Amino acid sequence: MFLAWHSWFLYELEQAIMQIDPEVRFPYWDWSVNYPNINNDPIWQKYEKCFTRKNQFDDAISESKPEIEELSNSKSYLDFTENLELGSHGCVHVGISIEFAGSGSLSDPLFYAHHTFIDKIWFDRQNRHSEFTLSYLTSLSTQMPGFPAK
């Protein structure tokens, strides 16, 4: 549910914003570009009276492009989604600041750029590996975890 929920959330929000300005598109922040020195990313330039970001990244926080490729090549959807959600996704939240790890992260524009990149990783995996497109945790005949109906 993690990937599909975030993808739909971003889509719906972008559609709502486009009702005001049809030219708006959400950018993504590719935090793998400056791996392993994510703290050197230009996004961390200091701005007066802006968001508080701690930028406490270490080598384990982000993944390099080859590591993302390896993750995307996983034949198991469960392995792919769990490693992405609990790995890079969560570590980027914590690395930015403790506030970014909670519900307060929704007020930070970087939240959307981060999740748009997560969505891009999923999209790229689906396009590169069509055999994994319908590979999910359950089937139509099984009950989804956390939901009382099939």
73-95: average pLDDT? 77
CA nearest to 43, candidates 22, 61, 27: 27
pLDDT tens per residue, range 100-113: 666 667 777 888 88
127-141: average pLDDT? 66
The 10 Å CB-count burial string (b at 16+, else e) for 39-73 is: eebeeeeeeeeeeebeeebeeebbbeeeebeebbe
What are the structural domain ranges in the chain?
28-132
Provide the 8-state DSSP code for 136: -
Q: What is the pLDDT of residue 61?
A: 55
Q: What is the pLDDT of residue 58?
A: 56
pLDDT at 16 over 90: yes
**In this structure, what token pair is assigned to residue 99?**
């506030």
Q: Is 100 exposed, middle or buried (0-12, 13-18, 19+ CB in 10 A)?
A: buried
Place of tokens 């300005």: 21
CA nearest to 117, candidates 39, 38, 29: 29
Q: What is the pLDDT of residue 143?
A: 61
CA nearest to 29, candidates 12, 16, 41: 41
73-96: average pLDDT? 77
Distance of CA 13 to the CA centre of its chain: 15
**In this structure, what token pair is assigned to residue 37?**
């020195």
pLDDT at 135 over 70: no
8 A C-beta contact, residue 62 and residue 35 = yes
Q: What is the pLDDT of residue 59?
A: 47
Q: What is the pLDDT of residue 84?
A: 82
Whole-number Å distance between alpha carbons of 134 and 81:
13
9-35: average pLDDT? 89
Helix (H, G, I), strand (E, B) or coil at 47: coil
52-75: average pLDDT? 68
